Amino acid sequence: MGRGIGKDLKERLMSAHESSTCLVPESPAEARQLRRALKHKEIVSPATKVYALASIWEELNPIKKELYKTRALAKLHPDWVFAGPTAAVLQGLYVPYRLLGKTHIATTRVSHSRSSSSVQRHIVRGCIPNVIDGIRVTPIARTAFDCMCGADFRAALCIADSALRGLGSEPAAFVEELRKIRSLHANRSFVLAVAALANGLSESGGESTTRAVMIEEGFMWPTLQKEVIDPVDKSKKFRVDFYWSLPGGDVAGELDGREKYRNPEMTNGKDAVDVLADERLRESRVSGTNVKVMRFSYNDVMNTTFFCHLLTSYGIPRGFDVPWVARKQ
C-alpha cells in the first residue's frame, strides 16, 4: 500500500467494506494516519472523518456509496435524523442518482445549524423518526415528499411507486399521508398530484419510468403484473409487466432489463442462460393464449418517438391525456 497506510489500518478499512460502511477513525493517531494516506490517494474521504479504500470506492455504484457514507455518519452523529434522498436510500426507495451527493438531515426552525456544501438541512416539524438498523430516518411518506419536491414527473412517479410499495397502502391513503405533511414547499401540489397516480405494483424504477412515459404521451394505462394462465398447464400462471385488454386483441408488455439476468435475488440461483430460456418459454405460453407480446428495453422507452411508434404499432390507444402532466413538470 505504500508509506501512507499500514497493514492493520488496511485490514480495518477492508473490515468496514465487508460491513458495507466506511471507516470512522477510533483515535487521533488513526485519524492522522488516514489523513496521510489521503494525500497519497490510497483512500478517499466521502465525508468529514469518513474514509474508504479508493480502489473499492471506485467500484461502488452511487446508491452503495450513499449507504456506506451514511452508515458511517450515523456512527459519528447518532443524534442525526436523515431525510430526503439520504433517508430514501436507507429505506430502499427509488432515488435518482442526480439527487445524491449531499447528506440530507432533518432539523427544526429552532436549530441554528446551517446547510453546507456537503450537508443539506430540511426543516421538518412534528415528525417522529423511524429507526432502520439503529439509524434514525424520517418516515417513508415524509421522505418521499421531500424527494418528490426536487424531482421531475418521471422521477417523482418512480419515488411515489416505491414509497407505496414500502408502505403497503392504497394510493388514496398515501396521498392523505402526504397531505398531512406540514410544508410550504412550492411543489406541494405537484407532489400530491403525482402521488395520486402511484401504483405499488410497479416493481422497479424502469417499470415506473415506462408508465410515466405512457402517461406523458397520453396512452391507455395498462394493468400491472397481470396473471396469465398457462394454456398448456392450467395450474400455472405467468405474470406480465403491463397488460392491455383491447377489442382487437389483448397485448402484454414486457420490459427487458439486465437485472432479470444478473441479480441473484431475481434469478433464484439460475444462470443467465436458464433465465433467458425461462423467459422465452413464458413468452411462448403467453402468446399461446392469443395475447400479443410486446418486448422493449429501457433504452427503447427513453427514445420517446420510437416507443410511441411501438405502442401504436401494437394497437395501444392514445388520447388518455392528463392535462397537468402534459406540461412536462
pLDDT of residue 112: 54
Give the Å distances, CA to CA, from 298 to 75, 133, 206, 211, 312: 38, 33, 7, 12, 18
- Of 66, 59, 65, 51, the closest CA to residue 10 belongs to 51
Residue 121 has pLDDT above 70, yes or no: yes
- The kind and range of the H/E element at 134 are none
- What is the share, in percent, of the chain residues with pLDDT greater than 70? 82
Model confidence pTM above 0.85: no
pLDDT of residue 107: 86
Q: Band of the pLDDT at 127, cuts 50, 70, 90?
A: confident
Residues 70-77: contacts with CB under 8 Å, at least 24 apart: 70/103, 70/135, 71/19, 71/20, 71/21, 71/22, 71/133, 71/135, 72/16, 72/21, 72/22, 72/23, 72/24, 72/47, 73/47, 73/103, 74/134, 74/135, 74/136, 75/21, 75/24, 76/24, 76/49, 76/50
Provide mean pLDDT across the span 111-124: 75
Residue range(s) in the chain whose domain bears CATH number 3.40.960.10: 205-326
Provide mean pLDDT across the span 136-140: 95
pLDDT of residue 258: 53
Class at the top of the CATH hierarchy for domain 205-326: alpha beta
The mean pLDDT of the chain is: 85
pLDDT of residue 193: 94
Provide mean pLDDT across the span 311-325: 92
Residue 20 has pLDDT above 90, yes or no: yes
Q: Band of the pLDDT at 267, cuts 50, 70, 90?
A: very low
176-199 pLDDT, tens digit per residue, is 999 988 776 778 899 999 999 999
pLDDT of residue 261: 39
140-176 pLDDT, tens digit per residue, is 999 999 999 989 999 999 999 999 998 887 888 999 9
Q: Band of the pLDDT at 36, cuts 50, 70, 90?
A: confident
pLDDT of residue 227: 82
pLDDT of residue 187: 87
